[in-house]
Structure formats: C-alpha cells, structure tokens
A and B are shown apart, each in its own frame.
Chain A
Amino acid sequence: MSAEPQIELVGIDKHYGSFHALKNIDLTIPKGAFVALVGPSGCGKSTLLRSLAGLETISGGTMKIAGEQMNGVPPRKRDVAMVFQSYALYPHMTVEQNLTYSLRLKRVPKAEAARAAREVAETTGLTPLLGRYPRELSGGQRQRVAMGRAIIRNPKAFLFDEPLSNLDAALRVHMRKEIRALHDRLGATSVYVTHDQIEAMTMADHVVVMRDGVIEQQGSPLELYDTPASKFVAGFIGSPAMNFVPGKVSADGQSVQPDLPGAGSVALGRSVGAGRSVLIGLRPEHLQVGGDGPAVLRLPVSAVESTGSMTYLTLGGDPEIMVVDTGRTSVKAGDTISVSIEPGNVHLFDPATEKAI
C-alpha cells in the first residue's frame, strides 16, 4: 500500500435542513486501501459514501479524489463506481449490456466493449450468464454483476453501500473473501459501508467507526479491538459485545473494584487516578471460567448456550455479564461460578464522557 492519498476529506459537513448528518469529517484514504465505514444505522456512513459519489451535495469542507477537488462535480464526472445494496442492475438489459453500459455511453467501439465484458465476466465468474437478464439471476449472481459493472470502468475508487446485506449468511461469508480478493487483484481503492462490524473487521485494512455524524475512532481492525477509544467503539467492535460493569479504582490506583456483590478486585497492571469511579469493560472472550488469576467476579449462571465449538454463559442479572468459553463446559444454569481476567485485558472508561482511560 503506497502512502499517496487517493481520497482526502477535510472538514466535511452535511446538513439536511436542521439535521446535521455529517459533522466535520476528516478522513484520508491512501491509494490501494480498503476502508470500511461502520456504525449503527443513522450514523452518517451511507451519507458520507453517497457524498463521495456525488449523489449528495456536501454543505461544507473539501473533498478530493486522486488529487482533484470534487466539490460540486456531478457523479458522472467523478470516475468512481458504486455497488448498491439493491445492486441497481438495469432490469431491461442483459448481463452483458449491464456490464458495458458505461462503455457504450462513452462510445467505446462495440468489439472492444464486448471484449472488456468477456474479461470482466471471466474475473467475476459470469461468463455463462452474459445473455441473461437480471431477473433470471440469483442474489449472488446479481451481486457479481453489480461488481463487474464497477470493475469494467477501472474507476479511481470503488464505493460499496452494504453490498452483502441482501445475501444469506453462507454466501455473505463467501462474497466477503471474494470482494477482498478482487480488491487486492485490481489494486483498487475501496470504501465499504456496512453496519456489520464482522464485515468491517474481516475485510478492511482500516476501519472507521461512525456515530451521530462524527468519526468516533479509526484505525486498523485490531487497533480498534485492542484499544477502543470510547465505550461506544468498545461495545460496537467485537462479538458478543463487551460487558460494562461500574466500579471504583482502589486507593493505590493499581486495581479496580467492580460494583457487584461478591466481586474481587481486578489488577490493572498500570496506574490510574486513585479512587475515581469508572466503567470497567470486560470482553466476553477474555473472561476465563475458573482460570489461574484471582477471581474477578463470582456470579450465578442464568443461561448456558452452546454452539458446539463455543459456550456462551450469561451471568448475573443487572448488568448481565456474558462469558465465552471455548469448547464445552459442565457449568449449568443456577451454578455460581468465578471468572478471572488478565490485567492487560481490562478496559476502563470514564462514566461521564465514556472515553477510554
């Protein structure tokens, strides 16, 4: 990945009447990067993507694609391709006509367009389907046509708007890899919008977590997982979601005492402001049943769900604590168990600002 920026957003603002959809967004995307915009619905991620495409006009800030200022440039002159959630295939055109639509608009000679369509069909596995109409294709095949239509243009950037959300789970996992492989093969620059943090984590080099029109945090997937900047990011990244328990830092600042009956103090391995109230963040997969460390929590088990490879234990009631245990366990609902955690895996958040401490 070269460092040369392909997309530069500085201070992007977007208002819909009195609604402030994007608030001062700064984002630089290097050439060849795969960036995921992720967040709950209404966080502005789709608006940001559509602004990049030119389908929404921004209210303020500057937007550059490949070094050229794009503010006010109509979508057809931006040279970016978009894959829509609905695929937006042209229903009255065959797969081949869908693929070559942009070329035909540019008056590319017929033979050349047909050759390009064959090449793209080859890469996307559409060769036997070139003569079909979109209504005769399955969801996954339509998805591929939408991808092919983007690829054939060799655009400056690929924009994906939740492209996998209409596919069933198995196909989604497959297409995830396929899209990423295609991205690597083409050396493309991709911006990928999703509400599914797993998609973002598995596909992207760089994940941008958005909430209420602002970027909460951006970084590599593991950075976000290991050092979430806020309670929101901590809760959003990772599945099942992080547990949050109110607590108080001890007098020496070296450990924290969860505010739960029967809980022991948790070593932090670092020093934090003594005596302050905090929110303790514990990832379900970091909590060990039994474990070697000193017991952190001792709580009754309210539910046991086993998937075979994993066992999900729900402890206590208010708040519920989720524990993921690999493999099988003899723990049953009603048992009271102890769980422990490594000091390095404990996250602390300020209860008022919800920022990480």
Chain B
Amino acid sequence: MAKFFNSLRDGVGFDLILVGAAMVFLLALAGLPLVYNVLMSFQQVDMFTLGQLIRPFAGISNYVAVVQQPEFWMVTRNTLVFVVGSMAGQFVLGFALAVFFAQKFPGAATIRGLFLVSWVMPGLVVGAIWSWILAGDFGVLNSILRGLGIIQSNIFWKSDPSFSIWAVIIANIWLGLAFNMLLLSVGLAAIPRDLYEAAELDGANAWQRFWTITLPMMRSTIGAVLSLGLIGTLQQFDLFPALTEGGPANTSNVAGYWSWQLSFQLYDFAKGATVSVMMFVLVLFASILYVRSTRHEVRG
C-alpha cells in the first residue's frame, strides 16, 4: 500500500497542491452544499432559523410530511413519466440520427455538427422557443398537425392537464437529442468497419448486423448515455418555468421543480431539501450504474 502511494508522489509536494486544489474546490462547491442539504432535511427550518446551522432536530418528520403532501404521488408519477419519456425519446431518436449520420453521404459531418446547436442553447431559450411552437391558439405544431389531418381542433399543450407534462417532454427531447446523438456517434465510430464486413459475409442482413454487432458493441456507450440522460433529465429545471411552471394543478410538476417551488416560493426549505435529498439518492444510484457500465468496456 505504501508503495502504491509512493508511486503517486513526485517528492516535492507539487502533486499534493494539485490534488488539494481540486479537492478544496470539490468540497467547497459540491460537498458542503450537499452535506448542508442533507442536514437541513433532518431539521426544522423556518424563517427565524434560516441563518443558523444548528436547528431543532426533526428526525424523519420532513420525509413523512413530504410523502403526505397531496401532490406527492402526482409529482412522483410525473417525474417518472418525464424521465422515462424524455430518455426514451432522446435515446431512440439520438440513436437513429447517429446511425443515419454514420452513413457516408455528402455533408453528413456538417449537418451532424449543426445539430449541436440545440445542445449549446440555454434551456430557458429552448423553453421560450418551444413555448411558441406549442402555443395552443397560434402554435406552429398545432397548425402542422391540423394541416396533416391528425387533429381536428387545437391542443392546448401547456394548459391541458393531460398534455402539459408532454409539452415539457417534447422540448426536453429536443434539448437532449444532440448530446445523445453525439455520444452514440462516437460509440458507433469506434466499431471497426471490418466487423460489419465480416458479418455481412457471414450472411447477416442490415437488421441482423445492428442487433448482433452494433448493439452489443455499444453496450458501454449505451450505459453511459442512459445514465447521463437520467442525471440530466432529473436535473432539468429551465424548461419548467419557461413552459408550464409545473401546472396546471401540478400536472406537469416534477421533483426538481417542486423542490425549488417548496424552497423558494413557499419558503419551506426543509421540505425542499428533503425532496432534493430523495432525488440525490436516485442520481447516486444512476451514477453507480454509469461507473459500472464504463468499467465493462469490450475490447478487441
């Protein structure tokens, strides 16, 4: 063990400074808020104790109170729909685009590059754009759907309780699509061409090549994309204030936005912290999956 640590040292301490700087940064900006947040979820917090670190201990009463909130199950269900819907859309469409752009045609790389525009745009801007696209009375989406004869009357995407969560999901799919496509493209490019040629000679058609070569060879990439997608989707915030503000009647509210509402609109910091701790456990789980998936890289 000592030998292992010695192999990491340069002998003059510069290495310690480098590691130390990174550790201080991490502890100050990620560790402390995290610990403070967890601490707060076990305390009674009100406007009078807001400035104190040590507050009355509340046990798990905050957790019980959060679960007993009338909107808790609605928000849980919405979060689930939002995460699964967004990830499925981002992944399937992203994979399809990645495969599409992996074909050699003129301008493939350039057009793929243009897709990244959606990824560099701030969520609030994306939210504003989609707010116009999804607008009930003058939105372009309704007008297209009507034109194609798919719907007869306008859908009020943002204010109809049965569509509001889908309005945010559609915008979020668009927002995360390019990121998914990019990571999956890298994974696709890493598969040697001659594997496909060998499979082709072995009698595999395009569909069989996809199932027996592409998918298994992409295992670790897919794991990474899905884990990062889960984390990114749970953290999504900007689209909610821009599109629905969680409404109407919490029908498009998800855990992340709810936690912000509890803390900064209702000033119930304890409950807000509790919800975010619950989410943190979920994200932690996803992170472990991600780390494990990158460890199982297939190497030729």
Contacts and interface: CB of A to CB of B under 8 A. Distances in A.
Contacts of B201: 53-55, 75-76, 78, 80-82
Main secondary structure of the interface of B (DSSP, over half): helix
How extensive is the interface on chain B, given as a class?
Answer: 20 to 34
A102 B202 contact: yes
Interface of A: 53-55, 74-76, 78, 80-82, 84, 86, 88-92, 101-102, 105-106, 134-135, 149, 153
A89 to B, nearest CB: 7
B216 interface: yes
Given A88-B192, A88-B194, A92-B217, A135 B200 contact: no
Contacts of A90: 195, 198-199, 212-213
Contact of B195 (A75, A78, A88): A88
B298 interface: yes
A146 B167 CA distance: 52
Contact of B299 (A82, A86, A106, A135): A135
Given A53-B201, A76-B201, 19 more contacts: A53-B197, A55-B200, A55-B201, A76-B203, A76-B204, A80-B201, A82-B198, A84-B194, A84-B198, A89-B198, A90-B195, A90-B199, A91-B298, A91-B300, A92-B217, A102-B203, A106-B203, A135-B299, A149-B202
B202 A76 contact: yes
Contact of B198 (A78, A88, A106): A88
Nearest to A135: B299
Contacts of B213: 90
B235 interface: no
Given A86-B192, A134-B300, A101 B212 contact: yes
B61 interface: no
Contacts of A84: 194, 197-198
Contact of B203 (A86, A105, A135): A105
A324 to B, nearest CB: 39
Contacts of B298: 91-92
A244 B14 CA distance: 65
B226 to A, nearest CB: 18
Contacts of A80: 201
A106 B208 CA distance: 11
Nearest to B200: A75
Nearest to B196: A88
B205 interface: yes
Contacts of B219: 92
B202 A92 contact: no
For the complex of A and B, the 3 pairs showing the least CB-CB separation, nearest first, are A88-B198, A102-B202, A91-B300
- The winner among A53, A55, A91, A153 for most chain B CB atoms within 10 A is A91
A318 to B, nearest CB: 45
Contacts of A101: 199, 202, 204, 212
Contacts of B217: 91-92
Contacts of A135: 299-300
8 contacts: A54-B200, A75-B201, A78-B201, A82-B198, A82-B201, A89-B198, A90-B198, A91-B298
Given A134-B300, A135-B299, A92 B216 contact: yes
A76 to B, nearest CB: 4
A76 B200 contact: yes
Interface in B71-91: none
B27 to A, nearest CB: 39
Interface string B171-199: 00000000000000000000010110111
